[in-house]
Amino acid sequence: MRLLLVVCSALALLACGSKGAPPGSPKGDPVTTLPIAPPVATPGERMAYKLTLKGVDLGTFSLVVGELVDLDGTQTVVVQAQAKSGGFASLVANIDDRFTSWVDVKTGRPRRFEVFEHADRKGKDKDHVVVDFAARSTEGIPVQYGLNDEPMKTLVQPVTQKDVWDYNAFLLAIRGWEGTQGSTTTLEVFRSRYVWRITITLG
């Protein structure tokens, strides 16, 4: 889990065009959400990133844009990501997590998010999670989850924002975010069954 979070944070900075400027207080306008627009993605596109720390190999993160798929009457593009530990990190955590998103081709918003990830650092048990953004209600967003082949359970994850993201859709959206340097936005992003509140600044 932590590997994925670190990789996604690094990718977010890359996608926002950060140039390594000295840290400072944001000077742009706050943004309530990211623009409603087609995702910046081309079917067949592949991206791969290698994570290292002081020359030590920690793992990889890959993102693949698949084909267009009709999902319950909505045209979507399938986006698949994989976070995998490697080198020294494999001695500490056994990570081979896969994330699949169905992203609306008109709005860039996620419609469904499916996750297969290790339940703990060294175990072989896999969590299976399906987030159904399209079935959102006033109570929240329904999430199905289960361990290995166990029957899936359902919970409703409360959210507070109009737009809620998964990590794949989030990464695609910030690739196309254009605005004043220093603009900030706070987003709610699913990474499995849990929601993270993330604040990003356009560099």
CA distances to 111, 119, 126 from 100, in Å: 11, 17, 15
Task: Evaluate whether residue 192 is within a structural domain.
Answer: yes
* Domain that includes residue 73, residue range: 2-19+38-201
Q: Residue 139 domain-assigned?
A: yes
Please check whether residue 52 lies inside any domain of the structure.
yes
How does DSSP classify residue 130?
E
Least-confidence region, from 29-33, 35-39, 153-157: 29-33
Tell me the per-residue pLDDT of 86-118, one tens digit each, with 9 for 90 and over: 876 676 777 788 999 999 999 999 999 999 987
Number of domains the chain contains: 1
Q: Is residue 152 part of a domain?
A: yes
136 part of a folded domain: yes
Assigned domain for 25 exists: no
Q: Helices 2-15 & 167-175, crossing angle to 10 degrees?
A: 20
pTM: 0.80
Residues 56/88, Cβ–Cβ less than 8 Å: yes
Q: What are phi and psi of 172, to 5 degrees?
A: -65, -40
SS3 content of the chain, % helix, strand, coil (to 5): 15, 45, 40
The predicted pLDDT at position 91 comes to: 65
In a domain, 185, yes or no: yes
- Of 11-25, 67-81, 133-147, the poorest mean pLDDT is in 11-25
